[in-house]
Each structure stands twice: as C-alpha cells, then as structure tokens.
Structure 1
Amino acid sequence: MSTAQTPLQPHMDVADALSVFAVTDSQVEKMQATEFIWREVIARSHLVVLAGEGGSGKTAVATFAASELANAGLQVFYFQEDAGAGDVPRLHQHAKKHGYVLLNSTLASAAPEDQIKVLRSMVKAAAPLNNVVMFFDTLKKYLDLMSKRGSREFFMLMRSLTQLGGTVVLLGHTNKHAGMDGKRIFEGVGDVRNDVDELIYAHATDKDAGGRVTITLTPDKVRCNAQKRSFQLDIINMEVCALDALVDVASLLETRQRLESDRPIIDQVERALSAGGLNHTVLLDRVSEATGESRNAVRKVVDRYMGSDPSDERALWLETRLRVNNTRYISVRPSGASVHAES
C-alpha cells in the first residue's frame, strides 16, 4: 500500500500523514527550470500525452509541432500507425519538406510490436537521446489502454526513453462519454495519468465557412509550467498556423452543448413570451406545465439566459424590475436568440 493510501492511525501527527502531498522547494525549482522545446507546451525529456476526440486535430497539431522541432535542429521521429492509406502520401511529403522521419510498421511489412522491440534494444544499449523527439500516433495501436499490465510495461519503456534524454509525445483518445463535469476524459486506466509528466487535451471548434478549425491545447495534469496554446487548421490543405491570441475552445464547446441541452425549455420560453412579456412567476409556471420539467429546472434555464441590458448579446431575454412589489418582468431580447445560438 502506498503512502498516499495509508489510513490515519491513532495519535498519528496530521502533518506527517499529509506530508506526501506537500509542495517542496525542489519540486517548484524543477518546474521552473524546465526547458521547453516547443511553444511552452512540450518540455525536453518529458513524457506527454496529447488527448482529444477523433477529429479534434491532434495529428495536425502534432505534425505541425514535429515540423517546427525538426526545423529547430532536433531529430524527430513520427510513428504514424493510425493514418489511412490515402493520408500517408500527404504525411510523407510533409515529413520530407520539414525534415522529420515518418515511420510506419505496415509499409515495412512489420507491426507496432516490432517497433517496440527496436526501442527496447535502444534502451538496453543506453543510446543517448538528448536531441531526439518521438511522436506516437496513436496509443491504441501500441497497447490495450484498459489493461493495467500492458500499460505499465509500455509506459516503463517510454519513461526509459526520457531518462536517456528523449522527449516522447503520445497521441490518445478521450472517452466517448463525458465525465461528471461534462468534459470528456482521457481513455485508459487511471495509472496512465500518473505515469506521464503532462496530460494535455485538444479541443476543436466546428469548421467555419472558410473551412477553418480552431484547436486549443489545454494542459490538465502537469509537472512543468505548460501553457494553453491555440492553433488554426485549414482543413482544405491541412495547414496549421499558431494563433497569437488564446481561444477558449473548451468553454465555447461547453456553452454550445449546454445550449443544445437547454433548447426544449428555451423554445417553450420563447413561445410563452411571443405575445409579450410575462411576470417571472407566471412564466415559470407556464413553461413547467408545457414541458413537464420541474419549476426549479425551468427557473435555472430562464435565469441562465437572462440579462438586464439590451446590449448584452449573451442574453436571450431581458428582466425588468417593476416598481409594484418589485415584480420581475421577463421579455424577449430583440434578436437575442440568434446571436446567442451563433456564439
């Protein structure tokens, strides 16, 4: 049983029991001394997982990072085991253009397990890897993420590579279903989170009218001062560029999902207000009766999209306090629904 799991014994000092979690000077100094090799996201000799939903732009951003790292003089190897046959020529040309090595086991009449054997031999030979960066796309091609034993052996190998000076970036998927906080989480056993230095999530917007997607990398678990960074992907030519300003894509997605979830009540509120404003209490009663939702559930949605300033584009409807008994009077904000839905 680990120290963190040891129950508090009678007469045990509380400070001693919790000391394993105490932040130390050496830990902080190590974080501050970290050498970033790519945009304050990837740190030298760290083991990183970049996770996101399918289609979230992980590979596009990872190959962009590989190109910049190679152009900076590092030796970059990109293990690509997840691309379709139609994508390989484009990825090969990108690697040739930017000076990194694209690896694929199938085209070598081999398997990912054969790549692992070569990596083990490198570790056994203690080959210096200080100038080496390795990307693995994707994790599911190398191990069963739901098996603790398989994960442990694989991550021990990855850690050995970093101990030889190498930097390792593993691309992984998030679960199909959201967690308790509404966010999707990395797909795999909990031990994986503890085995890596940084766990970074990729969140992407839907494509805009010009075929562009905004992708934001958000560090979740870190052992260095990794930063959020935003990028734009042109899905027509698959080119990526870094954005100067940070875009909170996760927040935008959360707002959109919440709007979709609230839509049945929103629609009924708009129907109730279509003929004119209503007393707040009357509105809640009507919508609750029409939707079958509890009055409290309706109140939360009404209050969530309510404002007092007509210029507030986040509001769907407006609240006015009447002098008589300080009554709350609710009315539709002109053009508010369309503005909010587009945000």
Structure 2
Amino acid sequence: MEKLKRTTPAVGQLSGGAFKIEQSDHISPINNVELCSGYGQKHTDKYRSLVTVTLAHLKALMSRPPQKPKDEAQWAIFSTVLTRNHSRQREHGEFYALWADIDDSEGQSFDEIVGRSRRVIPGAFMAYTSRSATQENQRARLIVPVAYALSGHEFVIWQRILNDKLEAAGITPDRVTERAGQLCYLPNRGAFYDWKVINSKGPLNPDECWSEELVVEMERQHAEQAELTERREMAKIKARARVSAGTQSPIDAFNAEYNLPLVFDMYGYLRKGNRWLSPNSSSKSPAVSITNDGQKWLSAHETDAGIGRPCDSGNGYMGDAFDLFVHYQHGGNRDEALKDAGEMFMVNGVPLYKVNQQAFSESQGLSSGTFQGASSLTTPQDGEAFSLDTFSLNGMAAEMESKMLEDKFILGRMAILGQSTVFYAKPNAGKTLLTIWMLIEAIKSHEIDGKNVFYINADDNHKGLTYKLKLAEKHGFQMLAPGYNGFDAKMLSSYLANLVRQDQASGKILILDTVKKFTDIMHKDKASNFGESVRQFVAHGGSVIMLAHVNKHKDDEGKVVYSGTTDLVDDADCAYTLDVVTEDKLSGDRTVKFENFKSRGDVAIDAVYSYHYGEGVNYYDRLASVRTVTDEERQNIEKQKRLNATLERNRDAIEAIKGVLRDGSQKKTELVTAAHERSGVSKARIQRALEDHTGTSVADYQYWHLDIQDKNAHIYRLNWAA
C-alpha cells in the first residue's frame, strides 16, 4: 500500500505541495556507483576535471533541491566514464540509469505525467520538475535506474525505447536524451517544484520487460545502418569514378560525392528540421546549418571550435564535408585524412595520393620510378603540343585480343560470365526452379566451379530454404540467406564494394533471389545506385544473375512486362522475361519460355523448358522433372499456343457459326449474316472466325470445312466431330 508523505513547499513555489510516493525501498548497489557529473554548461573535462554523483545523492537532492542559476546547476551523465564526449560515452560508457526530459507538458500536470509514466515503466523511477517549470507548463525529468550496467550502445537503444513508450502514453520527451553524452540537470528549485519517487518494483530490467521492443529497435537500427552504409559506399564509388574522369584532388572528390546530410548521419549529428545538433554539443538547440549551395556547414556550437575554421564574421565555425572527415575519422590529423582519401580513390590501379606525388616529382624534375603504373597521367614537357593521339589504343589490338576471353555461359545460353543478367517472371512461373536446375547442370558439366557461386536466397520460407540448402551442399555451391550468419540483404552494395576494393570480385557469381529484397526497384534513385554497385562488381570480373517480378498486366501482344523502373534493365547486360506457354492440367506438365529483350554477346534469343507443376510433388522431384524442350516440341508448343489464343479470341463467334451450321449447310454470305443476327457478334469477327477455323482437323480447332461448288459457290458444312 502506498504511503504518502507531505513536504512543505519552498517560498515562491506555486504548487500546493509536493508528495513523495514511497513503497518498500529497494536497496540496490547501483545507488552508490559514482557517475559522471559537473556544474554548469561550461564545465567540461577539456578545461577542468569533472566530478561524480551517485543515484543515492540524487534522491536526497529531490527533497532538498538547491536553488541556483543554470550556469551553476549540477548535471549528470549516468555513466562511470568521466567525459562529456558523446562518441567516447557511446563506445566506452557504463550506464546505470535511463532518463527522460519532458520540455513541454502539453497541459498535463506533473501528477498526470508521473501517472502515465508508471503505466509504461515497469520499474522504480524518480521524477521531478525542472528549474524552468511553471504552473502552466510543468516541465519534468524522469530518472530510471537499471538493474545492471549498460554499455553506451545499449544505453542509446534503451533510451529510444523508453522515449517511444512515453510517447505512446501521451508524453512527448525530448529525443536529445538518445545521445550518450547528453547532460541531465539534477533537481534545482524554480518557481514551481514538485517531485516523486516510485520504489515499488526495484530497478528496471529492460531485457526482461522490453525484450520484444528490443528486437524491433535492433531491426530498425540495423536497417538504418545498412542504408547509411549503402549510401557511404555509393558515394565512394561515385567519387572514384570522378577521380577516374580526371579529378586529381581527393578533397574535391570527397566533397563532390559525400554530401553533408550523409556525412552528418555518418558522424552522429541529430537532425531537427533544417538544422542539426552537433554530437559535440550538450545543449538541446540545433545550431548547425548548411549553406544554400549545399557545400559548407555553419555551426554556432562553441564545442565545434576544433572543426573547420572560424567564420569570417567571427560568429561560429564553418567547413566542408572533408573537414568533418578530418576531425571525426582522423582526430584532426589532416595529413592522415588526405592520405586515407587518396588511398580510397584509385587511378589506373594507383592510389591518388601517389599519382599526385608522381606529378609533383615530375614537375620538380625528380625521378618518378617509384610510381610506376600512373604514367598515363604524365603531363607533356614544356613546349610540347598536347594531342589526343597520346591516348589512342591503335596498335594494341593484338595484345588486347590475346587477353580477351570467349563468351562462357553460366546458365544455359542466357547468362554470360562477367555480365549481369536479370530474369523477370510472375510468381510461381518457375524462375527459381529453372535457375537452380540450370546452375546444377552448369556445375555438372564443369562450365563453372560451384565454390565460386553464391546463391542468395532472400525470398523463401524456412522449409524452402532448407530444401535448397541441401541442393547447394550436394552440388557444391554456396547458399546465403538474410538473417543467417550475419548476412544482411540491405548491405549487399557494401559487400560488393568490399570485394571490388580487395580485388576479390573476379570469377565470383552471385544469384539474387529476388532482387526486390536487395533494393527498391520502384524507387529510381535506389535502383540506380544499386545498379551502379552491380556494374562496378561486374566491371571487375564478377557475374550477377538477378531474379525479379513482372507487372500484373501484360502488354498489347499478351506478353509479360517487367516491373519497376528502367534502371535495373538499363544497367544489366542481358534481360529476359519468363512466361508460361502451356499447362496440361491432366498431366501436370507446364511449358515455359524465356524471351530475351536486351543482350550483349551471343546469348539465346529464347529458351523453352518443361517441368511438372502438379500438386503433391516435392521440390526434388519437381527439379528432376525439368527438361529442355526440343526444337520440334517447341514448334508444336508454339503452334498450340497460337491455336489456343485464336480459340479464346473467337469463342463466341465459333458458337454462333456452329449453331447456324447445325441447321444445315450454308453459303458464306448467308452464314455470316445468320451468325451475326443470332449472336450479335460483328460480321467482321464472324468472317475472321470462319476463316480461322476452316479445315478438317478438329484437333487444330477446325470445326467446319468448305466445299466449292458450281459457279464458285462457297458452301460451309460442319465437321462430324464438331
């Protein structure tokens, strides 16, 4: 049962009194752990040593708060590491409490805030109003002790979950508390002051209480990090391309492709509208902005003094993306940052910084033997006329031909080694089945080495994945799947970039099933960026086969149409559609056809396969039923497909003509008129159907035959089996 103890309000306090809520006190060793603390915004470890505070002392302060201006008020970071640096706290901190800062009570009283908080915090917590609280806006802070020490990364995760919980309960917390080094000001009496301690449940054990929320948050952070990594890798790829096109400054290349919002995300800036809060700042006011041209950042945070240079006005600091790279990636060492950027960007296989060193050496008349491989960038001697003839390849054809490999097929005659190929098909048309069958056939015939094949199965359930994994183990190719052994589909662009950077792309064959799991093919920018990463991988000797879906609706010719933007097709070397040609429901046999609509190399224009699709057939038997359809069979199948299409198109006209002919033979003119009047089908369609289905082979849907009698009279008679 709760026990209420009334305390006397201080002079000037506008509330009617404060209540401390007590139940059985839980004595915990965490109450006496010394945590990082200081006094006032300007107290940093850069100028003088920080102090410590315990949760026990904080609890005592609540009932006897000091009354000081904010620049003298005590604050805490609930970590044992004595630093205000966000990054160091995140990497090395050991936290013993979570906290919330409610700057806007949105009309709720302090009691209401505490009541709502109790419903979502399954543990003890302390609550008090801030120094700036008023009767109208009862601003408050919550301190939530935890049952065990949290790492800096864990602290950030649980902080976000706590804030999400409070927000769902109708309380709007300030999200700056999700930064590891954010200052929490301790009890400090203002015009309005109130406090409560909830001791009923002991310290919060987030692992037990919020385990489901943790899974969701980890997935969100994982996806967010994967997207950031992909953006970083794409920026690096584009910067390398810029260098290859002639940009010789690593700073220019870096700034051109690493835009400032991306770099801010990389280094932990918190965005609020069109401004950012620096990770070096402990304030809650975002004071970093970007110039109109998007090239420079401006910061009014005093803590950003070591980055970039002072503004010309003397108010704040400014710099570019490379300045942030220097500060955060290299601790302010510009020479190391220049070298690192120079190594990121290559020219003819030589790091850019070495190319620039060579150019400088040559300009000084020094030997450039150390920098072999960058000779293509040497400049003409003084007085020597510049000519594009310098770059001509003429005379090298024989040498290049000796290095050129003949087309080597990976899957049937549709995918060539060293290219990217995409197969489009509707669901359950057999694209995965046929891809695996062709892959196994290529391994069996020693066309490819299975150990170089990486089949990434991102579109299957556990049962399906298990079936295919057994096939991979049997035939010696590699099977990967998102969520297993740390593989993340959204990180694929990064993985490809690493293979390229480490010169490991050549000979590797990737099969992506399906490509929509690796990028958003409906989003032009994302599809284009993904396509560029695939192109870079292929340009360095890799091969990629991508499986994708088609639109629900077919084109005017009745053919399937690929889904998504054109970027995937534009970047691919070859592209095929796969569609069902015939299905025999009695036998369960299905015939499907690949049709090429983009090619580079001597690939097949089309390919036809057959397999058993009936119910009750396991995957291995279905795979074993796959076979290539012979040319004769293909002709018959194509013929049957045309006949079926004609039958469907003319079905109502056929029934009308049959009805008339059952009454007796008819001349053509009278037959067309009678069938039209009987069915309402146009005379043109009746006449076309009459021509399409005239003959003696009922198997070919020929339901009547023609007798030409005296005076060229065309008499139509119904076939006996029709």
Which TM-score band applies after superposition, normalised by the shorter structure? 0.7 to 0.9
Asked if 1:239 is matched to 2:626, the reply is: no
Equivalent in the alignment of 1:163:
539
Write the letter of the residue equivalent to 1:156.
E
Distance in 1 between the 2:576 and 2:715 partners?
Answer: 45
Q: 1:257 to 1:127 in 2, by over 3 A?
A: same
- Find 2:608's aligned residue among 230, 249, 254: 230
Equivalent in the alignment of 1:320:
707
**1:17-56 to 2 correspondences below 5 Å:** 33-56=406-429
Equivalent pair of 2:454/2:510 in contact (CA under 8 Å): yes
- Find 1:294's aligned residue among 666, 682, 687: 682
Q: 1:107 to 1:44 in 2, by over 3 A?
A: same
- Find 1:284's aligned residue among 647, 665, 672: 672
Write the letter of the residue equivalent to 1:37.
I
Distance in 1 between the 2:640 and 2:629 partners?
Answer: 18
Asked if 1:143 is matched to 2:516, the reply is: no
- Find 1:113's aligned residue among 490, 501, 518: 490
TM-score by length of 2: 0.39
* Per-residue deviation, 1:319: 2.1
Distance in 1 between the 2:638 and 2:429 partners?
Answer: 12
Equivalent in the alignment of 2:556:
180
Q: Secondary structure at the match of 2:583?
A: coil
Equivalent pair of 1:67/1:99 in contact (CA under 8 Å): no
Write the letter of the residue equivalent to 1:216.
K
TM-score by length of 1: 0.79
Distance in 2 between the 1:147 and 1:250 partners?
Answer: 36
Write the letter of the residue equivalent to 1:195.
D
Equivalent in the alignment of 2:436:
63
* Per-residue deviation, 1:36: 2.4
Q: 1:258 to 1:314 in 2, by over 3 A?
A: closer
Equivalent in the alignment of 2:716:
330
* Per-residue deviation, 1:82: 1.4
* Per-residue deviation, 1:166: 1.5
CA distances 1:138-164 after superposition (whole Å, capped 9, x unpaired): 122222322221221111111122112
CA distances 1:111-170 after superposition (whole Å, capped 9, x unpaired): 42033332232233332322x221111122222322221221111111122112122111
Distance in 2 between the 1:141 and 1:121 partners?
Answer: 20
Q: Secondary structure at the match of 1:145?
A: coil
Equivalent pair of 2:492/2:518 in contact (CA under 8 Å): no
Q: 1:117 to 1:210 in 2, by over 3 A?
A: same
Distance in 2 between the 1:128 and 1:99 partners?
Answer: 19
Equivalent pair of 2:595/2:607 in contact (CA under 8 Å): yes
Write the letter of the residue equivalent to 1:268.
A
Q: 1:197 to 1:171 in 2, by over 3 A?
A: same
Equivalent pair of 1:310/1:318 in contact (CA under 8 Å): no
Distance in 1 between the 2:710 and 2:505 partners?
Answer: 77
Contiguous gaps of at least 5 residues in structure 2: 1-400
Q: Percent identity among equivalent residues?
A: 20
Equivalent in the alignment of 2:650:
262
Equivalent pair of 1:60/1:233 in contact (CA under 8 Å): no
Equivalent in the alignment of 1:21:
none
Q: 1:267 to 1:196 in 2, by over 3 A?
A: same
Bigger Cα displacement from structure 2, 237-246 vs 276-285:
237-246
* Per-residue deviation, 1:219: 2.0
Higher relative contact order (CA 8 A, sep 6+): 1
CA distances 1:190-241 after superposition (whole Å, capped 9, x unpaired): 3433322111222333245343322332222212222233323234222243
* Per-residue deviation, 1:53: 1.9
Equivalent pair of 2:456/2:513 in contact (CA under 8 Å): yes
Write the letter of the residue equivalent to 1:316.
Y
Write the letter of the residue equivalent to 1:286.
A
Write the letter of the residue equivalent to 2:672.
L
Q: 1:262 to 1:107 in 2, by over 3 A?
A: farther
Q: 1:233 to 1:288 in 2, by over 3 A?
A: same
Distance in 1 between the 2:493 and 2:477 partners?
Answer: 19
Q: 1:115 to 1:160 in 2, by over 3 A?
A: same
Distance in 1 between the 2:564 and 2:458 partners?
Answer: 18
Equivalent pair of 1:202/1:216 in contact (CA under 8 Å): yes
Equivalent in the alignment of 2:474:
97
Equivalent pair of 1:70/1:76 in contact (CA under 8 Å): no
CA distances 1:22-75 after superposition (whole Å, capped 9, x unpaired): xxxxxxx9xx95332343222111111111222211111101122233342241
Q: How many residues were matched structurally?
A: 304
Q: Secondary structure at the match of 1:56?
A: coil
Equivalent pair of 2:418/2:543 in contact (CA under 8 Å): yes
* Per-residue deviation, 1:110: 5.6
Distance in 2 between the 1:108 and 1:273 partners?
Answer: 71
Q: Secondary structure at the match of 1:184?
A: coil
* Per-residue deviation, 1:314: 4.9
Distance in 2 between the 1:311 and 1:136 partners?
Answer: 46
Equivalent in the alignment of 1:271:
659
Q: Secondary structure at the match of 2:610?
A: strand
Q: Secondary structure at the match of 1:298?
A: helix
CA distances 1:271-329 after superposition (whole Å, capped 9, x unpaired): 2222332222222222222332221122222222223x5588352322222222x2222
Q: Secondary structure at the match of 2:690?
A: helix
Contiguous gaps of at least 5 residues in structure 1: 1-28, 338-343
Equivalent pair of 1:203/1:250 in contact (CA under 8 Å): no
Distance in 1 between the 2:584 and 2:511 partners?
Answer: 26
Equivalent pair of 1:322/1:329 in contact (CA under 8 Å): yes
- Find 2:505's aligned residue among 128, 133, 139: 128
Supply the RMSD in Å over aligned alpha carbons: 2.7
